[in-house]
Amino acid sequence: MTAAIEATGVTRTYELDGVRVPALRGVSLTVPEGDYVALVGPSGSGKSTLMHLLGGLDRPTSGRLVIGGRDVSRLDPADLARLRNETIGFVFQAFHLLPRTSAVDNVALPLVYRGLGARQRRARAAAMLERVGLGHRLGHRPNQLSGGEQQRVAIARALVTDPAVLLADEPTGNLDSATGQSVLALLEALNADSGVAVVLVTHDREVAARARRQIVLRDGVIV
């Protein structure tokens, strides 16, 4: 099976007030195409740092990181941004929707960077909202949607570019348990139907247990 993301001996060290603080201490993992994996660990374990690296939002201090077959160390910022747009979809705990913008235009936003015309962007966004069960909410703004509906809009936005990997950082953290379960069921269905690999970052072992495999981090290493 082809690897969507491959990390080998990856470290990440930050400089804080002149002190070197290691967040990751040599992490190696592979995310095959179509995988569904949970990154689990307590606060400070390095899981969010690792997610930022896997999504191309940051670069390793050392080690090798390959996303979509490309070594990120060889990419300039513009190429790395293009790789993110083509390969990775992001879903966050806080939704990060534009408040004065309709659901369909929120979802269409990543397609601007693909150079698509407005009509084509909106058509693809509407189709994706239909796929996540929000075809009847196209014109609604975030404040007119429930928390679960906002997270579905965020998922649609992450998937509208047909990424190889969906990175979901605590996607149920701001939701009640019943709504959180429905969002997880949606992610599982999308993983099964479209083959997008899902990397779920969570501290919740019940959420993690729904993934096909778990990677546990503690103190910057996989345990």
User: Considering Cα of 112, then 128, then 211, then 69, what sign does the dihedral take?
Assistant: negative
Segments forming the whole domain that contains residue 153: 3-222
Tokens of 45: 């374990």
pLDDT band (50, 70, 90) for residue 1: low
Q: Based on the structure, what is the number of domains in the chain? A: 1
Asked if the model's pLDDT at residue 135 lies above 70, the reply is yes
Tokens of 184: 């997880």
Under 8 Å CB-to-CB from 97, ≥6 apart: which residues? 106, 142, 150, 153, 154, 157
pLDDT digits (tens, 9 = 90+) for 81-128: 999 988 999 998 888 999 999 999 999 999 988 888 999 999 999 999
Tokens of 109: 């936003």
For residue 134, the domain's CATH number is 3.40.50.300
Q: What is the pTM of this model?
A: 0.91
